[in-house]
């Protein structure tokens, strides 16, 4: 009876109708589904022949043959208790090879049809819902055969639906994922352990052409009529990865930019300067960080200008102007400066961005240009053009006094020289070639020919020269007579104008000029950067306003602010979501400034566009990481531990915002526990796993303070408790754990793949390593760890560390290594544990140099008393 009850309990766990029959065909057990299908209870059929009692016919009205050793699949008519009959599919599976009976599965044929119809219905609905999505939708059965392949999947993977349907889903995977996929499905069906089902993760996909690409994959599981199906949603991450690369490029461009950049917080404290800003001011970056920009003030700029500057940026308005600052060496310099308030995701001002460009030389050039223009006006007023005469060989026989203003030479210094003596021998970059020699040789008059002279002081001089030959009565050339108009100032201005135009064309920030007097203020100029940002060609933007960029999520309030600025002819700054030509949204940091003509009338607007989409995403991510970092660091010991028998100190320095290194030390029932660990990865997930490790470790140590439960047993228990979480997160942990027993001065320890600590005896001349065999935590269950022990004496010191110390590299690619760490440990052995750690970190940073750390660093130092 107990066997029958067990059979019945097992069968009732299944949804389909099942019967167990003896080798004679007599019914031994049946589940509830079979009772509902036949109308009989198990007790009514037990001991009766299954086929003679229930089967009305088989095939052409003949009774089916029965063999307990033959697996069959039959279509029969089932005779129910209420005398009705139905067509069913009957599957016979022998139970062993010794004639121990068989398991019979019963399924109405119309249910099989409904199962197929239900599957087709679900596929149709999924295709209807997800067919228009950019993401791909792929449905497979338990064997990995593709049953549904959406339009989005066709675009992502390059296969047409008819090519993919019926194929194994492995065609969408590169090696080694495709090689492991079938075994993963088989393992899941056998064990039910999920590795990716229900968990989104980043993986690598494979297109039809063989190219691989990053994608985000989410897999769900559905059951239909007792069968399992899997539905995967894929999102192509190629553009996101490219945006991350662009962000790194942008960061490098800022650091290497020829324009000085400074970032200060809302309190006016400098937080960042690029190398150009340091070179411009003469200060090193660390001398500027934390200081107020007031330290650069020259006292030559009026206080009212500083007041207006601060009022503008405090109100969230960009400030532009020219200021005169003082370098570290006391020299003054002029800078054209733009200060822009930076806002967080909530719109609050958090920082100020200052961009400076040294215009000292431009100021000097402008002043020189003004002087030149004044001289030119005086000469023009006095009809003081440089008049000259030359003999037929081109030697000056006469020069007016204006040559002193043009070339810096007196007429006496010019007479007797040829024009070739006055020309620049090595033309400046971009200089025009002197054409006067060929014209004079042609014996024909010339007009407004540009010549390049060398001034007496070595400077370049450009003139427009007009001359004519003078012949005698016999037609022989006697001399040349002409006049040179000094155009040096105009030439420099034209060169500067060309430089400015090229600069506007080449800057990475979008610039447009609007016609303020035309209806709709259309664009009359756009630079290439604006075309790249918006995706529109220059011809598509010209003649249209920026309303061309509006979209469904464009903030109406921002548009109203722009319209208000245009209507009132004033500047404005807005951050607004616009849309590119392809419909993709982007965040535009837009600055609009009016341009007035000589009469003060606003004729144009200049708009500056900066695509800050990446920056907004980075700022939001950085804020979340800062919160995680604060939580992580708050879990570490806040102060050194000092007892009658030992003093311990530790430090953790994450390489990024959050990391996976961890240490802990505490006294529990007179026993001192020390642990140092490294969670793989530097993400928020690693920090959260570290938090779980700390909680679990402390709970286990409080539970196992007796001497019989040592570090090896604790690591074994910790591995068992954390295995599922680590395996699901695809992470592992290395850990060294030890326990100091003050009464006996014995240190018990065990290692789970962590760097072995260094032991320095009080009178020792070398460092020894403490190590014990043990696999890293989270890889497999049932791991046994080797436990070691050692006697300690007063004055003995221990140094625990993670691989962020030994794997630190210098510019030559050399590792800091255990030998250098041991030497540093011995060199600072006389310091207290906390000071010893600081001194060792200083040695590591000096070895590494300026490059930032690439891995987390954790150290714990202990001294036996």
Give yes or no for residue 8 having a pLDDT over 60: yes
Give yes or no for residue 85 having a pLDDT over 90: no
Strand order in 602-611's β-sheet? 523-526, 510-515, 602-611, 585-596, 572-579
Distance of CA 440 to the CA centre of its chain: 66
Q: Which two tokens stand for residue 623?
A: 């804020």
How far is 328 from 286, CA to CA, in rounded Å? 13
Strand, helix or coil at 50? Answer: helix
How far is 202 from 234, CA to CA, in rounded Å? 10
Instruction: Specify the residue for token string 């800057």.
Output: 507
Strand order in 319-326's β-sheet? 270-273, 260-265, 349-358, 332-343, 319-326
Between 219 and 821, name the one with better pLDDT. Answer: 821
How far is 847 from 812, CA to CA, in rounded Å? 10
Q: Which two tokens stand for residue 654?
A: 């994450």
The pTM of the full predicted model, rounded to 2 decimals, is 0.36
How far is 524 from 546, CA to CA, in rounded Å? 12
By CB atoms closer than 10 A (0-12, 13-18, 19+), residue 153 is buried
- Whole-number pLDDT of residue 465: 87
- What's the mean per-residue pLDDT of the chain? 83
How far is 637 from 651, CA to CA, in rounded Å? 9
pLDDT in tens, 752-793: 989 999 999 999 889 999 988 889 988 888 888 999 999 999
Q: What DSSP character marks residue 70?
A: -
- Whole-number pLDDT of residue 262: 87
On whether the CB atoms of residues 728 and 784 are closer than 8 A, the answer is no
* For residues 89-95, average pLDDT: 83
Enumerate long-range contacts of 42-51, CB under 8 Å, 24 or more apart. Answer: 42/8, 44/81, 46/4, 49/24, 49/25, 50/19, 50/21, 50/25, 50/26, 50/104, 51/25
| Least confident interval from 349-353, 493-497, 525-529, 840-844 | 493-497
pLDDT in tens, 664-675: 998 888 899 999
Give yes or no for residue 4 having a pLDDT over 90: no
- Whole-number pLDDT of residue 59: 47
pLDDT in tens, 133-159: 778 888 888 778 888 888 888 888 999
Query: 831-850: buried (b, 16+ CB within 10 Å) or exposed (e) per residue?
Result: bebbebbeebbebbeebbee
- Whole-number pLDDT of residue 304: 76
Question: Cis omega (within 30 of 0) on the bond before 176?
Answer: yes
pLDDT in tens, 320-339: 888 888 898 988 888 888 98
DSSP of 369-391: HHHHHHHHHHHHHTT--EEEEEE
Helices (H), 704-776: 711-729
By CB atoms closer than 10 A (0-12, 13-18, 19+), residue 433 is exposed
On whether the CB atoms of residues 234 and 148 are closer than 8 A, the answer is no
Neighbours of 411 (CB within 10 A): 16
By CB atoms closer than 10 A (0-12, 13-18, 19+), residue 143 is exposed
Q: Which two tokens stand for residue 557?
A: 């309030």
How far is 149 from 165, CA to CA, in rounded Å? 7
Neighbours of 760 (CB within 10 A): 20
Give yes or no for residue 98 having a pLDDT over 80: no
On whether the CB atoms of residues 404 and 486 are closer than 8 A, the answer is no
What are the residues whose beta carbons fall under 8 Å from the beta carbon of 219, sequence distance 6 or more? Answer: 196, 197, 198, 199, 230, 231, 232, 233
* For residues 654-681, average pLDDT: 81
pLDDT in tens, 604-645: 999 999 988 888 777 766 666 666 667 667 778 889 999 999
Give yes or no for residue 436 having a pLDDT over 70: no
Q: What DSSP character marks residue 291?
A: S
- Whole-number pLDDT of residue 685: 67
DSSP of 116-150: HHHHHHHHHHHHHHHTT-SSEEEEEETT-BEEEE-
How far is 680 from 809, CA to CA, in rounded Å? 19
By CB atoms closer than 10 A (0-12, 13-18, 19+), residue 629 is middle
pLDDT in tens, 233-249: 888 888 888 878 887 77
pLDDT in tens, 192-213: 666 667 677 888 999 999 899 9
């Amino acid at each position: 009876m107990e066997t029958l009850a067990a059979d019945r309990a097992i069968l009732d766990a299944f949804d389909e109708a099942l019967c167990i029959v003896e080798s004679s065909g007599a019914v031994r057990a049946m589940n509830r589904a079979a009772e509902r299908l036949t109308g009989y209870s198990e007790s009514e059929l037990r001991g009766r022949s299954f086929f003679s009692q229930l089967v009305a016919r088989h095939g052409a009205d003949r009774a089916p043959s029965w063999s307990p050793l033959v697996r069959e699949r039959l279509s029969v008519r089932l005779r129910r208790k209420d005398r009705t009959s139905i067509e069913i599919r009957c599957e016979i599976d022998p139970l062993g090879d010794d004639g121990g009976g068989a398991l019979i599965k019963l399924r109405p044929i119309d249910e099989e049809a409904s199962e197929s119809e239900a599957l087709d219905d679900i596929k149709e609905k999924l295709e209807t819902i997800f067919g228009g999505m950019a993401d791909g939708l792929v449905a497979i059965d338990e064997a990995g055969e593709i049953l549904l392949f959406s339009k989005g999947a066709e675009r992502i993977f390059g296969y047409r639906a008819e090519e993919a349907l019926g194929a194994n889903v492995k065609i969408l995977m590169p090696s080694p994922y495709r090689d492991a996929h079938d075994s993963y499905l088989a393992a899941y069906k056998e064990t039910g352990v999920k590795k990716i089902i229900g968990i989104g993760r980043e993986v690598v996909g494979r297109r039809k052409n063989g190219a691989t690409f990053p994608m985000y994959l989410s897999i769900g599981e559905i059951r239909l009529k007792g069968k399992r199906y899997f539905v995967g949603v894929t999102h192509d991450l190629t553009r996101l990865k490219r945006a991350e690369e662009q962000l790194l490029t942008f960061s490098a461009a800022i650091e290497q930019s020829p324009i000085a950049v400074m970032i200060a917080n809302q309190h006016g404290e400098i937080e960042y300067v690029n190398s150009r800003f340091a070179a411009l001011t003469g200060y090193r970056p660390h001398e500027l960080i934390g200081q107020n920009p007031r330290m650069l003030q020259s006292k030559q700029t009026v206080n009212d200008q500083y007041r207006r500057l601060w009022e503008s940026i405090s109100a969230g308005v960009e400030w532009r102007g020219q200021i005169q600052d003082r370098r570290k060496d006391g020299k003054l310099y002029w800078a054209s400066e733009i200060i822009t308030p930076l806002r967080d995701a909530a719109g609050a001002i958090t920082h100020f961005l200052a961009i400076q460009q040294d215009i000292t030389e431009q100021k000097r050039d402008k002043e020189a240009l003004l002087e030149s223009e004044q001289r030119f006006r005086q000469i023009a007023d006095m009809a003081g053009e440089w008049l000259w005469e030359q003999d037929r060989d081109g030697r000056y026989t006469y020069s007016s006094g204006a040559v002193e203003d043009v070339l810096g030479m007196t007429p006496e210094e010019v007479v007797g020289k040829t024009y070739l003596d006055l020309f620049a021998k090595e033309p400046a970059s971009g200089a025009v070639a002197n054409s006067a020699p060929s014209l004079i040789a042609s014996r024909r008059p010339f007009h407004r020919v540009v010549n390049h002279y060398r001034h007496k002081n070595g400077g370049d001089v450009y003139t427009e020269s007009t001359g004519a030959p003078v012949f005698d009565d016999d037609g022989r050339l006697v001399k040349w007579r002409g006049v040179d108009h000094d155009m040096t100032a105009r030439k420099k201005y034209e060169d500067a104008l060309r430089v400015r135009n090229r600069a506007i064309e080449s800057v990475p920030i979008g610039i447009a000029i609007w016609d303020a007097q035309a209806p709709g203020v259309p664009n009359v100029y756009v630079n290439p950067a604006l075309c790249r940002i918006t995706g529109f060609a220059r011809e598509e933007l010209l003649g249209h306003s920026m309303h061309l960029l509006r979209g469904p999520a464009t903030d109406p309030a921002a548009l109203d602010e722009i319209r208000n600025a245009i209507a009132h002819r004033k500047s404005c700054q807005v951050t607004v979501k616009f849309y590119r030509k392809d419909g993709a949204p982007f965040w535009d940091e837009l600055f609009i400034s009016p341009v007035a003509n000589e009469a003060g009338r606003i004729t144009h607007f200049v708009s500056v566009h900066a695509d800050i989409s990446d920056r907004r995403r980075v700022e939001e991510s950085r804020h979340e990481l800062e919160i995680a970092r604060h939580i992580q660091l708050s879990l570490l010991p806040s102060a050194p531990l000092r007892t009658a028998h030992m003093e311990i100190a530790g430090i953790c320095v994450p390489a990024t915002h959050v990391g996976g290194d961890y240490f802990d030390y505490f006294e529990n029932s007179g026993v001192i526990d020390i642990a140092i660990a490294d969670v793989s990865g530097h993400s928020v997930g690693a920090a959260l796993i570290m938090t779980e490790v700390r909680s679990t470790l402390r709970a286990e140590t409080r539970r196992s303070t007796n001497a019989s439960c040592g570090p090896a047993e604790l690591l074994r228990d910790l591995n068992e408790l954390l295995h599922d979480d680590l395996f699901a997160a695809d992470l592992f942990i290395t850990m060294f754990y030890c326990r100091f027993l003050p009464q006996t001065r014995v240190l018990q320890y065990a290692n789970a793949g962590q760097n072995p600590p260094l032991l320095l005896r009080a009178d020792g001349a070398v460092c020894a390593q403490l190590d014990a065999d043990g696999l890293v935590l989270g890889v497999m269950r049932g791991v046994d760890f080797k436990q070691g022990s050692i006697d300690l004496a007063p004055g003995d010191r221990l140094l625990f560390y993670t691989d962020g110390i030994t794997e630190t590299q210098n510019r030559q690619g050399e590792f800091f290594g255990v030998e250098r760490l041991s030497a540093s440990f011995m060199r600072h052995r006389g310091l207290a544990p906390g000071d010893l750690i600081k001194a060792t970190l200083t040695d590591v940073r000096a070895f590494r140099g300026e490059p930032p750390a690439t891995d987390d660093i954790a150290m714990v130092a202990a001294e036996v008393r």
